[in-house]
Structure 1
C-alpha cells in the first residue's frame, strides 16, 4: 500500500476536520497537524508537527531558525516514538517547498502521510505527487478516522515562559565546563559511584514532562542525563554513539585526562523515559551530520544547553537570602532574569555576598511593578500585531505608550539586561530590534504583514502600509543585485513570485485561480473569468504573453511558470509590427 494518501474534501466539510482532529492520538501512533493560519514558511509547519508530537518548547537561538535541523528533529522524534500515521489538514494552502519536505519526511520515517485538501487540488501539488506512489480518496481514509472510543482531550500545553521554576539538585554541577579535550583511549568503565554525590532516585514528574516537550533532541537528552547522573558538561561532551547501548539502557561517560574536577569513567543505567530521548538523539545525529558526539553539539557550547534549561524553567538550588545587607556594592550592568548558574563555578575574586545579593535583586525585579508592567504592555503589543501583522507603531497620538515601551526593550537588549525568554516572545511578534541598522529587517516586517493580509507580494509601487512605503521598498528588492541568500530565502518564504513585476504577478495569479475553477488555456480571446473574478480576460492576457514570447520579452522565470500550466502558446504566434 502506498505511504501517501491524498484525501479530497472539496466542500470543506466541518465534519471532516472535526473527525481528523478527533483522531489525533499520539499514544496510538496517529498525529493530526493543523497548520497555523497565516504561516507560509516551511519551518513553521515543522514547528507545527513538533507541537503535534508534544514537543512545543523550541529553545531560543539560531537552532530554532535553522531550516534543515528542524525537519531532521521532526524525523528523529517520529522514529523514536510510536507515530505511524500523520495527517496534515489544509494541505492546499501550503507552498510547494513544504509539500516536498513532507514527502521527504515520509521517505525518511516510513510513516503513512495523509494530505487533506479542502479545496480544489492545486496543480503544483498534483505535479509533486506524480512522482510518488500515492492513493486518492474522497474523505478521510480509515487510519485517519477516530477510534470508536476516542481518547479524552488533553488540556492545552502552557507556554514555557509561564511555568513556575523547578529546583533540581543534580543541576548544580552542570555549569562546570572545561575546554574539550581528547577522549580516553582505553578504559574500563566502573559502575556509578554514590560516594560524595548520591545519584537521584526519583525526579518530579513535572520536570520529566518539561524535558520531553523540548524540540531539540540533543538538549533534551543532555538535560535528562544530567538530571539522572549529576555529571558536569565536560563529562557529557565525552559521550559518543558507541557509549550508548539501547538494548541494555546504559550510557558510559568518560573523564577527560586533565579535568578540573576529579572523576572517573562510569557506566550509568538510564530509566525508560531517558532512553527514549537518547534514541531520538541517535536518529537526529544520523540525519544531520557525521558527528559522533551524542550529548554535545559540534561546537561543544554550554550556553545553548543552559538556555534550554532556563526555557524549561529548571534551575539548580539558589543561594539563600544574605544574613545582612551588603555594604556599598556596585551591581553589574547586565543582570539576566534567569537562574544564577555562575554561583556554582569557582570564581576566586567574587565577593562572598555577590550571589545572594544578585539573586535578591533579581527576585525584586521579577515580582516588582516592572514585571507587571511588562506583562501588561506585552498584551498590548500582541493586540497591535494581531491587527497590523507587524510590531512597528508610528502613530504617537494613538500608540505613544507602546512606542515608548518598545524603545525601552530595544535599550535593555542592547545593554544585555533583557531576559532570553522575553526576547523569544518579542521575536515571535516580529520585533524590529534596530530601526536604523536593520532597515532591511524593518521592510521585511512590513512585507510579512502585507503577505499575511493578501497572500502575495505583488505590491504596487506607490502602495503604503501604516505609513511605510512598502511598494517602493519592494521595488528596490526586485532591482537589487546584492541580496544575501538569507534575504532571498526570507522573501521566497513569503511569496515565491516576488521577483516578478507586480502587474504580471497579479495577472498570473488570476490566471491560476481561473484554471483552478475549471477554466481552460484555449478558447475565445474575449472570454471572461469565472464568477469570482468576472473582470479578468484570460484570453486577452494570454495573447499578450504570446506576443512577448515571440519577441523574447519574457524572463526565464516567467517562461517556466507559463510552461508549467500546459500548452499555452498558439501554433502561429502573431508577428510583431
Structure 2
C-alpha cells in the first residue's frame, strides 16, 4: 500500500479515495495487464479462467454479472468472488451497496487485507467503460496483476485504455493455460487455513444453531440496545417457531491459541455473510467479547502510550485480519487518525447510525443473538 508523504498538504493527506482513474497518472512500474482474446468465444477459455480461481494463492477469478451496468456492480462481483455474500434480491440491501465509491472502497480494503495479488476478469467485453476505469483505479491502488479475458474483438473503451498502459496479448488456449498457471504456489501461512475459504451456507439454514453472545462487560458505560434486527430497525430475538433452533452460549474469548468449534463456525459465518469490513469486524469483536455497539465506539487499541485498552491484544488470526481490513478501509475513507497520545487515538470503530443498524442486521444474519436480560 502506498503511504502519503508526511509533507503532503492536509487536504491531500485525508482525502477520500475514489475509484477515479486517469491515464496521465498511471504508474509505469505496475505489472503489465494481460489481455486474452478469445475470437470465437470458445468455452475452453472461460472454463480455464474460472479454474484459475485459487484465493488461498492470492488469485481470484471473477465472472461479472451479465448486463449489470450500474457503477457499483463490478465491485460487488469482486466482493462475491472473494467469498462474501450480499443480500439476495428480495432483502433490503445495506446502504453502501448503492454507493459506487463506497462499494469500490470495500473491494479495495478486502483485496489488500487478504493479500490478493491477481484478478482474472472473464468476459471483459461485457463490462462498461465506467467499470473498466474503476478497475484501473483499483489496480493502481492495490498494484495487483490484472488479466482480462475478451471474447471477440476488444470494445472501444478497452482499446482506448490499453493504448495508454503497458500490456501484453495472448490469443491461444495453450498460452492462456500457461499464463494462468504461472503464479507462484505460495501464500502467507496465516491465510492458508483462513475460514474465509471454507464458506458457510448462506443464508444460515433455519435449523442451524444460534449462538448467544458473551455477557456484556460492565465497562465502558453505555446505553445498551437490542443488537438483532429482523428488518433493519425492527428489534427481534429468535424467529418465532413451534420448535425454535438450539441456542448455544458463547464464553468470552481468552487466548488466541484456544481452539473452539463454536468460534470456528462463527468465524466462517462472519466471513461469508458480512460483506463490509467494518461491520464484519464489529460483529467479530462482539462475538468474542460481548461488547455492545455503544461500547465499541469508545474502545481503544493498546499502544505504548496507553497500554490499558478495552480491546483484546491477542485476537485469533481471523479476527486480527478483520481489524487490518478496518484500518485499510479507514485510510480509504480519508479519516484522520490522531497521534497515539491523544484521547481519541486508536478507536477503530467509529460507527454512524446507519452502520450501527447494519451491524444489528449482520449480527442476526450470522445467527448471533444478545443474551437475555433478567426478566425478559
TM-score (norm 1): 0.45
1:50 equivalent in structure 2:
79
Question: What SS is found at the alignment partner of 2:31?
Answer: coil
Change (3 A) 1:225 1:313: same
Question: What is residue 85 of structure 1 aligned with on the other side?
Answer: 118
Residue number in structure 2 paired with 1:314: 368
**Structure 1 residue 96 displacement after superposition:** 0.6
Quote the residue 2:42 is aligned against. 13
The residue correspondences of 1:115-264 to structure 2 (distance < 5 A) are 115-139=148-172, 140=176, 142-145=178-181, 158-160=201-203, 162=205, 164-173=207-216, 177-178=222-223, 199=253, 202=260, 203-213=262-272, 214-239=274-299, 243=301
The aligned residue for residue 35 of structure 1 is 64
Checking the alignment, whether the CA contact within 8 Å between 2:214 and 2:252 is kept in structure 1 is: no
Q: Is the 8 A contact 1:160 1:311 kept in 2?
A: yes
CA contact (8 A) 1:199 1:230 kept: no
Cα distance change on mapping 1:96 and 1:280 into 2, 3 Å: same
Match of 1:332 in 2: none
CA shift, 1:159, in A, is 2.6
Unaligned runs of 5+ in 2: 1-29, 186-196, 225-250, 338-346
Aligned Cα RMSD in Å?
3.4
Contact 1:3 1:110 in 2 (8 A): no
Over 3 Å counting, the alpha-carbon distance change for 1:125 and 1:300 in structure 2 is: closer
- Structure 1 contact 235–253 (Cα < 8 Å) conserved: no
- Trace 1:259-338 onto structure 2 (pairs within 5 A): 265=310, 267-292=312-337, 293-299=347-353, 302-317=356-371
Contact 2:213 2:287 in 1 (8 A): yes
In 2, distance between residues paired with 1:78 and 1:269?
24
Which residue does 1:571 correspond to in 2?
A: none
Q: Any idea what SS the aligned residue of 2:149 has? A: strand
Matches within 5 A, 1:150-549: 158-160=201-203, 162=205, 164-173=207-216, 177-178=222-223, 199=253, 202=260, 203-213=262-272, 214-239=274-299, 243=301, 265=310, 267-292=312-337, 293-299=347-353, 302-317=356-371, 343-344=372-373, 352=375, 355=376
Q: Cα distance 1:225–1:99, how it changes in 2: closer, same or farther (>3 A)?
A: same
State how far apart, in whole Å, the 2-side matches of 1:71 and 1:148 are: 27
Aligned partner of 2:142 in structure 1 is 109
Residue 105 (structure 2) pairs with residue 72 (structure 1): yes
Unmatched 5+ residue regions in structure 1?
A: 180-196, 255-264, 318-342, 347-351, 356-577
Larger radius of gyration: 1
Partners of 1:57 and 1:160 within 8 A in 2: no
Q: Which residue of 2 aligns with 1:2?
A: 31
Task: Say how many residue pairs are matched.
Answer: 286
**Which residue matches 2:95?**
62
Name the structure, 1 or 2, with higher relative contact order (CA <8 Å, separation 6+). Answer: 2
Q: Which has the higher helix share?
A: 1
Cα offsets for 1:268-317 (capped at 9, x unmatched): 32111111111111111111231545223245853221111112222235
Q: Give the secondary-structure state (helix, strand or coil) at the position aligned to 2:53.
A: coil
